[in-house]
Structure 1
Amino acid sequence: MADTMQWANALSTRPSLEAAVAEVVERASSSLQAPADLGLVFISSAFTSEYPRLLPLLHERLSVPVLIGCGGGGIIGMTQQGQMQELEGLPALSLSLAHLPGVKVQAFHIVGEELPDLDSPPDAWVELIGVPPSPTPQFILLSDPFSSQINDLLQGLDFAYPGSVSVGGLANGSLMGGRIGLFINQRLYREGTVGVALSGNIVLETIVAQGCRPIGQPYQVSKGERNIVLELEEQPPLEVLQDLIENLSESDRQLAQQSLFVGIARDEFKQNLEHGDFLIRTLLGVDPKLGAIAIGDRVRPGQRIQFHLRDAQTSAEDLEWLLQRYQKQTHSHPAAAGALLFSCLGRGEGLYNKPNFDSQLFSRYLDNIPLGGFFCGGEIGPVGGRTFLHGYTSVFGICRQP
């Protein structure tokens, strides 16, 4: 039998860190049945004070050439019975191990101050990351939310590594203002970005579920500056929005009071915009005097935007639609070997009123794929061929051989 890619994941809920480490290493290693080339570890922020002990404990029991990970507000992984589980706010530890034949695995840590400015040539980024652009690398990135300059990093990676895919999330500490933890091999960092580049015999596919549905129609921005939309189709945006809301059903009108978002079309040339063509951004405020609206991104004349709503049912339908589409598109490809899930703290049980929703929906469409991940303070994934930092999103990174 040819040497094939393998993944394994184990989740532990033991409140003692020693016991949790022993359990995940034992279960993931015996499930993998091949030497691990990469480890990904996610630890609950309930263990914040014990972050410095994690890597020494892992190192005693686990032999893996490259290991990265971080702390998160909730942890995702596989129970002993093979069920997907999302644990929010409880002590938990998730370990994914991957056997990656024919794949070069390179880890890196960078801090925001080291980033080249955005006018620099691609070589400046390649030199910083230390990974050649060919064969095209796939990136997994874990960042601190405060000082990593993550948006600049994502723009730089897209520029220097055309065709690469990046997924990941922002680590978070405990609600008591605990410090974040980023782990790489045997080092604990408190800031910057830890990442791994996977080059060679690997494909990283993504599902980016932003949890929204469009209402009304797309409008073209006829006047805008910075993040302010001043005119839509030469009308004040607030008037356009008021007309739109008046024509909604009663339940959607209520939803628009607290869950209204703006989708920015990513493809300038696509005629018929559909589900998944928009980058969802928050509606920050309105200026009744000017009739302008402010959104959580830069806008420019000529862009098309469409208003969106978000609730539990919409989020569920959005993810299901994306999973069905992924299943259709990949049914003739080699089976996926493993997956990672980076989900927003604003999803999970707080959104759906039941646990394990996104991960179990994933397993209904993609069965028997070991899944690990965490609940983030911001999710990294591509929309329309460029990589963005999202909110309220679930980003799945699915790995297989080409």
Structure 2
Amino acid sequence: MEEETKKKRIEEAKTGFGLLSEDIVEKILRRLPAPSLASAACVSKLWYQNCNRILSRPKLASAISLNPSLDIAVQEVLDKVLSEPIRPHFAIANGFGSTFCLQKAFDLLAGKLGSRTPLIVTWANGVMGRDALTNEFREVMGGDDCSDCDDKHMDANSGILLTVGFLPGLQVEAIPLLRRTQAPRVSMADDLVVDIRSYTVLASGCTSPVGIIMFGGGDIDLKPIIEKLDYAMLKETIIVGDEKTEFLYRSGMESKNVCESKKYFSDAVALVFARDREKAHGIGEIQFHAALSNGVSAIGPRYKAASVRVNHRDCTTWLTARQEGQHEILDGQRILNDINDELENRNGGADLYIGVTKLRKCSIEREKPRLMSYLAFHGVMGGDEEYLFVYGAGIRTADYFQFYHSDPNTALTSCSNVSVNLRNLKLDWNSKKGLHPTDVANECKKECIGGFIFACCGRGESFFGRPNVDSSPLLENFPGVPLAGIFCGGEIARGISILNAHGRQEESTPSCLRVFSTVYMVLSYAPASMEH
């Protein structure tokens, strides 16, 4: 014991803080920004232990900057998210507007964050978050994509959102979906599933992670990839993200960093969150919770595809169909005339889709195939006296489908339902029912540490007629908590039930890729004393 005390005094003397109590030293360290704290941890074993104690709880930090200068915008969000102690386990940056350059933003951020920190930088149609300078929460839609990084045009709606996460008790990695450049354009979805499973088994001993944030490239069809993941993962695994975007990434696994490779294309990237089987004693439990605001309404009767043709050149499908229970085959124009008659009382235009119920066999590598049922949305292009034209492929003869249209009233009601559900979840966290007596005595309750929002780019203020509707369920229930959101080219929502206006499940057939929806993912933390 005397030897330990002697060593401690020597350490204190080395730091020059020998006359200060350990509590005072820790209070000083807690006020340091992240880079300074990282340096302080290298001073001595005592300081290293203090820094580890400070960084024992999970944390998300997020900020947006609308500065038209990308260099300044990146510096502003970095200064904000690293202004307090945090050890980055991952970083996601989403840029928007005419002055945003994907490669430049990636290079600026990669140089400032640790070389082993998984980093994903994407293009977004807009962002939601707190301003790095004013701390005001904003939903901002972006301008057009920047085709020339040297463009000097200054767009008021340009900027960047940066989110950094520290999640002790979890391991986080960026795992890409790779495609060989010299091979036929066939997705290597099986390889992605195997990579995610292998990483998760090493981290946790389980084949399924607790959550995935995924970004798909804009020129690929992500439906078959998501279907593979849906088949392969446990139902508890939540998958959210942006179906169609542009992205660059850096993985902590050097072998997966092929952004500049001539052998592979990166068609998608998955940020994988897996339990850490070797988490330190005293670390609590992080849980993922998800909800979805639906923004489309079904309209008209169900149809059954009678004939199907795929135009592979532009990835579209031409089809004829029968009304359910009828024998007459209808062409595209007759089908659309009936649907337009149903829509004629609506004010303004509506985006039109068909939701196809698909029953398919699915497997990974040599596993025994399993029958999967899911709902796939396809945008309607139009119709003539022969065919109905829709975007995408994968529809078969005899598949059933129904028309859906974008509907702000449905979306508003759904947002309200999400807010109620999150409020009930929050009340459940604060309830003492079912807790162990020591938990009640210590008043240990779950808390929200942050949230993510993925909204359709067709929503926002122009869709609802007022601002901040998409972010309202999280803002109302978790004010002051770090929130990061983007407007997407397509919303990924796996493992999430849709509730109707009465709070009941709306769809019996799951849909992992949504349209005109907003997906919410909330992270909660239960201190270690709550685990029994």
Deviations 1:126-153 (A, max 9, x none): 1477523516312111221114x42232
1:283 corresponding residue in structure 2: 380
- Equivalent-residue separation in structure 2 for 1:244 and 1:144 (angstroms): 32
User: Which structure has more RCO (C-alpha within 8 Å, separation ≥ 6)?
Assistant: 1
The count of aligned residue pairs is: 378
Match of 2:459, as an amino acid?
R
Return the match for 1:231 from 318, 322, 329: 322
1:146 corresponding residue in structure 2: 219
Query: In structure 2, do the counterparts of structure 1 residues 46 and 354 end up closer, same or farther at CA, with 3 Å as the change threshold?
Result: farther
Matched, 1:313 2:402: no
1:367 corresponding residue in structure 2: 479
Within-5 A mapping of 1:2-401? 3-31=56-84, 33-49=85-101, 51-63=102-114, 65-79=117-131, 80-89=134-143, 90-113=157-180, 125-127=193-195, 130-132=198-200, 134=206, 136-137=208-209, 138-147=211-220, 149-163=221-235, 164-170=237-243, 172=245, 180-184=246-250, 191-200=266-275, 201-215=285-299, 219=302, 221=304, 225=308, 228=319, 230-235=321-326, 251-252=345-346, 258-264=350-356, 280-286=377-383, 288=385, 293=388, 295-296=390-391, 298=394, 305-328=401-424, 331-333=427-429, 334-382=446-494, 388-401=512-525
- For the Cα contact (< 8 Å) 2:124–2:487, is it kept in 1? yes
- Equivalent-residue separation in structure 1 for 2:225 and 2:65 (angstroms): 33
- For the Cα contact (< 8 Å) 2:126–2:139, is it kept in 1? no
- Equivalent-residue separation in structure 2 for 1:110 and 1:121 (angstroms): 7
Query: In structure 2, do the counterparts of structure 1 residues 132 and 328 end up closer, same or farther at CA, with 3 Å as the change threshold?
Result: same
- For the Cα contact (< 8 Å) 1:70–1:171, is it kept in 2? no
SS in 2 for 1:105: strand
User: Which 10-residue stretch deviates more, 226-235 or 73-82?
Assistant: 226-235
> What is the Cα deviation at residue 103 of structure 1?
0.1
- Equivalent-residue separation in structure 1 for 2:490 and 2:377 (angstroms): 13
- For the Cα contact (< 8 Å) 2:293–2:519, is it kept in 1? yes
Match of 2:512, as an amino acid?
F
SS in 2 for 1:30: coil
Query: In structure 2, do the counterparts of structure 1 residues 232 and 76 end up closer, same or farther at CA, with 3 Å as the change threshold?
Result: same
> What is the Cα deviation at residue 9 of structure 1?
0.9
> What is the Cα deviation at residue 182 of structure 1?
1.9
Deviations 1:296-319 (A, max 9, x none): 565568866544332333332332
CA RMSD of aligned residues (A): 4.0
Match of 2:462, as an amino acid?
G
Query: In structure 2, do the counterparts of structure 1 residues 394 and 203 end up closer, same or farther at CA, with 3 Å as the change threshold?
Result: same
> What is the Cα deviation at residue 211 of structure 1?
0.7
- Equivalent-residue separation in structure 1 for 2:189 and 2:452 (angstroms): 31
Deviations 1:262-315 (A, max 9, x none): 3456899xxxxxxxx9765433444556xx755556556886654433233333
Deviations 1:88-133 (A, max 9, x none): 2222111111120100112122334499999999688314775235
Percent of aligned pairs sharing the same letter = 21
Match of 1:359, as an amino acid?
S
- Equivalent-residue separation in structure 1 for 2:476 and 2:83 (angstroms): 25
Query: In structure 2, do the counterparts of structure 1 residues 267 and 62 end up closer, same or farther at CA, with 3 Å as the change threshold?
Result: same
- Equivalent-residue separation in structure 2 for 1:203 and 1:162 (angstroms): 15
- Equivalent-residue separation in structure 2 for 1:194 and 1:46 (angstroms): 24
**What runs of 5+ residues in structure 1 fail to find an aligned partner?**
173-179, 269-276
1:274 corresponding residue in structure 2: none
- For the Cα contact (< 8 Å) 2:90–2:173, is it kept in 1? no
Bigger CA radius of gyration: 2
**What runs of 5+ residues in structure 2 fail to find an aligned partner?**
1-52, 144-156, 276-284, 310-316, 361-373, 430-445, 498-508, 527-532
- Equivalent-residue separation in structure 2 for 1:321 and 1:267 (angstroms): 30
